[in-house]
Amino acid sequence: MSPYPRPRCLVTGASGMLGRELTSLLLRRGAAVTALGRGALDITDGAAVRAALARHRPAVVVNCAAWTAVDAAQSEPSRAMAVNGDGPRHLAGACRALHAVLLRLSTDYVFAGSAARPYREDDPTAPHTVYGYTKRAGERAVLSTLPEAGYVVRTAWLYGAGGPNFVATMIRLEAEQDTVRVVDDQHGQPTWTADLADRLAALGSAALAGAAPAGVYHATNTDGTTWYALARETFRLLGADPDRVRPTTSRALARPATRPGYSVLDQPRWREVGMEPLRDWRAALAEAFPTLCGAVGRSAVPPR
């Protein structure tokens, strides 16, 4: 976001993987930022949300706070809804009172996950999990409360240096196990938090300038893949044999919450506002890799 003028951006969930990335990016660019982790702002507390926004008076709020434990949401639906559904509703109401813009992060889990083509922003949602249902509730709260200033940004398969994620796990397991079994029947898009943070900053600036209409946007690194293929690419970038990654099925690794079989996201809206979709996931992973390795105490090895 441009520092001239310096509209204040308030980031919730600022201690999480994406929140840290976004806060760091905005500060490097000279933006005025208020970064609030859960200890500083519990978005499930409506009064606390209203007080925080009234005190800091941001022009843009980016809601990175979320319940992300997909399986735990199945057994704790009320807690998941409080964060993913009620929290965005509180933020949207407070933003409306201040005439502020709200960017709310959402997920591919709002879709059924059974499509034969990438999901567009306006495709019908049909979540099959409690997690997806709560995220959709948050989407609806933002869009209905802020029809002219509410932005829902769906993303998927996040990885970065600021928190636990699949790529970091694969980097660790490559050093600990001879082989690793990874599902090969779930299709999605790995997304680097640095690329997503950059896009959120651009969208916030465009929103303030009136150059991007409110509504739903999809923001993932492009081209679809499977967890199995992502693990193989991770091993390759480590200089390890990708064949040490063995394919398996979702049924064999059953979890409490069903994972989408196909949740690749199409991104036509970016071109409508003069931006290109994010780059290919392989290019993003290659650039991110030295930082990811450093975060888990390993050195990146040039792939063979």
Q: Which of 143, 278, 276, 148 is nearest to 213 (CA)?
A: 148
What integer best gives the mean pLDDT of the chain?
95
pLDDT per position as a tens digit, 262-273: 999 999 999 999
CATH number for the segment(s) 8-164+191-223+262-279: 3.40.50.720
**Whether residue 3 has pLDDT greater than 60:** no
**Whether residue 6 has pLDDT greater than 80:** no
Q: In the chain, what are the domain boundaries?
A: 8-164+191-223+262-279
Please state the rounded mean pLDDT for residues 251-275. 94
C-alpha distances in Å from residue 169, one per residue of 13, 76, 164, 234, 253: 22, 25, 7, 10, 16
215 exposure class (CB count in 10 Å sphere: 0-12, 13-18, 19+):
middle
| Residue 98 pLDDT grade (very low, low, confident, very high; cuts 50, 70, 90) | very high
Find the range with the poorest average confidence among 2-6, 54-58, 94-98, 254-258: 2-6
Q: Which of 138, 131, 132, 103 is nearest to 119 (CA)?
A: 132
Please state the rounded mean pLDDT for residues 26-36. 97
Please state the rounded mean pLDDT for residues 178-185. 97
pLDDT per position as a tens digit, 108-139: 999 999 999 999 999 999 999 999 999 999 99
d(CA 297, CA 115): 39
SS3 96: helix
d(CA 232, CA 234): 5
From the list 4, 109, 119, 131, the catalytic residue is 131
pLDDT per position as a tens digit, 209-227: 999 999 999 999 999 999 9
pLDDT per position as a tens digit, 159-168: 999 889 999 9
Told to judge if 119 belongs to the known catalytic residues of this protein, a careful annotator would answer no
Percent of the chain beyond pLDDT 70? Answer: 96
